[in-house]
């Protein structure tokens, strides 16, 4: 039951983009078309779950026993960067089709606050391994959901009549604000 | 080659990271609930940017091109960890409010962006000025957003109540939707202002 509540909270009431403000840069950058949003979202889910597991294991077996928690930032970001590089190489060899689909987004994701943010949130909230996987997966799905909705809105906005100064990032941010307001309606439905 | 003075001033307005380059959006939205937090985050980014620009520029000829990304990440992460510990020691309430966004300065596009675009191609003096300019620019924009959200969201500036007791604060501005909307409108306004002032 607790896991279901966690999934609900991660996707809806505490959405990573619309409530926690992580991943705004890709949010503004790749939501011009629905296809690119879906591609980016899938890549993020993939990397997020894997890096969450790896960083959690490293934290448990390497950082905590030797009281090296202050090295978390450095170790986590290096692990994530290395992992993405490794995944890119493996994908290229084993599944060229998937690599073609995800390829361009993988480097974009490395220096992305969502991945590092979720990795840090997992260890700070002291999740166990099951909770880590579920939380990361749900957060990735929430990110993809927010991106696809925004892409749909932006595709429509392109045909709208508006001042030149508001086009681009400005109107996207205001739309995100209204979207965030809508998602606030989910607050209080499930209390963790 | 632009003058030394121009290296500093370009970060303030012409290439302001928040409103012109549109970088570092995550902290801008998340912690500007009050002017003090915005200012604090701006100073932290300035400190890390200064440190990383100096070091990366100093060793720019020693890092092989293939490993430059991990090397930059390592240098930036080291400065972020130092800033994190210093903030925790000297301003614990700010540290608690900024929370997870202090470690996230590592992946802040401003820092990596300046390292990639500037520090590795220019000498230390220019890199210092570039870092100072960008850092002060970021601090100004974060503080501005913080001031607006604090005035309308809580009726105060830097903790001083200026709107009086009759003012009913607009709670929405202190919460996530308000952050998005404030930043969006400010961005549109600055697009117009810069166009009118003739800044490209």
Does the CB of A22 have a partner CB in chain B at under 8 Å?
Answer: yes
Token look-up 């301003």 returns B91
Question: Which of B74, B181, B188 has the CB atom closest to A74's CB atom?
Answer: B74
* CB pairs A-B closer than 8 Å: 115
Determine what percent of chain B is predicted with pLDDT higher than 90.
Answer: 21
Helix (H, G, I), strand (E, B) or coil at B161: strand
The structure tokens listed for B196 are 């009118």
Question: Which of B30, B106, B195 has the CB atom closest to A165's CB atom?
Answer: B195
pTM for this model (two decimals): 0.85
Residues in A 142-171 with any Cβ partner in B closer than 8 A: 163-166, 169-171
Asked if the Cβ–Cβ distance from B25 to A25 is below 8 Å, we say yes
Q: What confidence tens digit (pLDDT) does each residue in B17-55 have?
A: 888 888 888 888 888 888 889 999 999 999 999 999 999
Mean pLDDT along residues A167-187:
88
pLDDT at A103: 66
Contact residues, chain B, for A71 at CB < 8 Å: 81
How many helices and strands, by DSSP H and E, does chain A display? 9, 0
Q: Establish if B200 belongs to a structural domain.
A: no
Asked if the Cβ–Cβ distance from A21 to B30 is below 8 Å, we say yes
Q: Establish if B187 belongs to a structural domain.
A: no
Closest CA to B22 of A30, A176, A22, A168: A168
Q: What confidence tens digit (pLDDT) does each residue in A56-70 have?
A: 998 888 877 887 778
Give the residue on A whose Cα is nearest the Cα of B185: A170
Question: Which of A23, A164, A177 has the CB atom closest to B177's CB atom?
Answer: A177
C-alpha span between A34 and A22 (Å, rounded): 20
Q: Establish if B114 belongs to a structural domain.
A: yes
Give the residue on A whose Cα is nearest the Cα of B112: A111
Closest CA to B40 of B122, B178, B142: B142
C-alpha span between B168 and B63 (Å, rounded): 56
Contact residues, chain A, for B26 at CB < 8 Å: 21-25, 113
Write out the residue range of the structural domain in which residue B74 sits: 4-147
C-alpha span between B127 and B121 (Å, rounded): 9
C-alpha span between B49 and B93 (Å, rounded): 23
* Residues forming a β-bridge with B156: B161
Residue B167 dihedral angles phi and psi, to the nearest 5°: -85, 125
- Which ipTM did the prediction report? 0.81
Determine what percent of chain B is predicted with pLDDT higher than 70.
Answer: 98
Question: Which of A78, A112, A169 has the CB atom closest to B70's CB atom?
Answer: A78
Asked if the Cβ–Cβ distance from A24 to B25 is below 8 Å, we say yes
Q: Looking at the 3D structure of chain B, how many domains does it have?
A: 1
Cα angle A183-A37-B184, degrees, rounded to a multiple of 5: 55
Asked if the Cβ–Cβ distance from B187 to A72 is below 8 Å, we say no
Q: Establish if B16 belongs to a structural domain.
A: yes
Indicate the average pLDDT of chain A. 85
Does the CB of B22 have a partner CB in chain A at under 8 Å?
Answer: yes
Asked if the Cβ–Cβ distance from A19 to B176 is below 8 Å, we say yes
Q: How confident is the model at residue A95 (pLDDT cuts 50, 70, 90)?
A: confident
Instruction: Give the DSSP H or E segment for B152.
Output: helix B124-154
Q: What confidence tens digit (pLDDT) does each residue in A127-150 have?
A: 888 889 999 999 999 999 999 999
| Confidence check: pLDDT of B1 > 70 | no
Mean pLDDT along residues B148-153:
86
Token look-up 């100064």 returns A165
Contact residues, chain B, for A164 at CB < 8 Å: 191
Helix (H, G, I), strand (E, B) or coil at A177: helix
B177 to chain A, minimum CA–CA distance in Å?
4
Q: Establish if B167 belongs to a structural domain.
A: no
The structure tokens listed for B149 are 């959200």
Give the residue on B whose Cα is nearest the Cα of A73: B103
* Residues forming a β-bridge with B157: B160
C-alpha span between A80 and A111 (Å, rounded): 9
Q: Establish if B77 belongs to a structural domain.
A: yes
Mean pLDDT along residues A74-96:
83
* Burial class of A85 by CB neighbour count within 10 A (0 to 12, 13 to 18, 19+): middle
Q: Establish if B82 belongs to a structural domain.
A: yes
* Residues forming a β-bridge with B161: B156
- Residue B62 has a CB neighbour count (10 Å cut-off) of 7
Q: Establish if B134 belongs to a structural domain.
A: yes
pLDDT at A102: 66
Asked if the Cβ–Cβ distance from A116 to B106 is below 8 Å, we say yes
Contact residues, chain A, for B77 at CB < 8 Å: 73-74, 77-78
Quick check: A41 and A148 in contact, CB under 8 A?
yes
| Confidence check: pLDDT of A40 > 80 | yes
Determine what percent of chain A is predicted with pLDDT higher than 70.
Answer: 96
């Amino acid at each position: 039951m607790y896991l279901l509540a966690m999934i609900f909270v991660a996707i809806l009431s505490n959405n990573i983009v619309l409530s926690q403000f992580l991943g705004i840069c890709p949010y503004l950058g790749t939501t011009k078309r629905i296809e690119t949003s879906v591609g980016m979202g899938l890549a993020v889910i993939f990397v997020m779950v894997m890096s969450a597991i790896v960083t959690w294991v490293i934290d448990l077996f390497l950082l905590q026993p030797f009281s090296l928690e202050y090295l978390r930032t450095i170790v986590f970001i290096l692990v994530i960067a290395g992992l993405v590089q490794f995944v890119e190489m493996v994908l290229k060899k084993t599944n060229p089709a998937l690599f073609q689909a995800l390829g361009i987004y993988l480097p974009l994701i490395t220096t992305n606050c969502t991945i590092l943010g979720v990795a840090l949130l997992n260890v700070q909230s002291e999740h166990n391994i099951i909770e880590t996987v579920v939380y990361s997966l749900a957060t990735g799905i929430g990110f993809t959901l927010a991106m696809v909705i925004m892409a749909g809105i932006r595709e429509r906005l392109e045909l709208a009549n508006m001042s030149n100064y508001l086009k681009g990032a400005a109107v996207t941010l205001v739309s995100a604000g209204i979207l965030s307001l809508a998602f606030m309606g989910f607050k209080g439905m499930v209390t963790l | 080659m632009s003058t030394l003075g121009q290296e500093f001033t370009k970060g303030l307005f012409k290439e302001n990271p928040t409103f012109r380059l549109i970088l570092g959006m995550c902290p801008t939205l998340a912690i500007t609930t009050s002017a003090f937090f915005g200012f604090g985050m701006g100073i932290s980014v300035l400190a890390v940017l200064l440190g990383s620009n100096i070091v990366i520029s100093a060793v720019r000829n020693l890092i092989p091109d293939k490993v430059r990304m991990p090397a930059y990440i390592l240098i930036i992460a080291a400065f972020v960890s130092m800033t994190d510990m210093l903030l925790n020691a000297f301003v614990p309430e700010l540290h608690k409010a900024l929370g997870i966004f202090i470690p996230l300065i590592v992946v802040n596009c401003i820092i990596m962006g300046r390292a990639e675009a500037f520090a590795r191609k220019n000498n230390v003096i220019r890199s210092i000025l570039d870092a100072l300019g960008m850092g002060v620019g970021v601090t100004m924009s974060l503080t501005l957003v913080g001031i607006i959200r604090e005035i309308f969201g809580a009726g105060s500036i830097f903790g001083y109540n200026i709107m009086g007791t009759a003012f009913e604060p607009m709670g929405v501005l202190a919460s996530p939707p308000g952050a998005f909307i404030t930043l969006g409108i400010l961005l549109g306004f600055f697009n117009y202002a810069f166009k009118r002032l003739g800044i490209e």
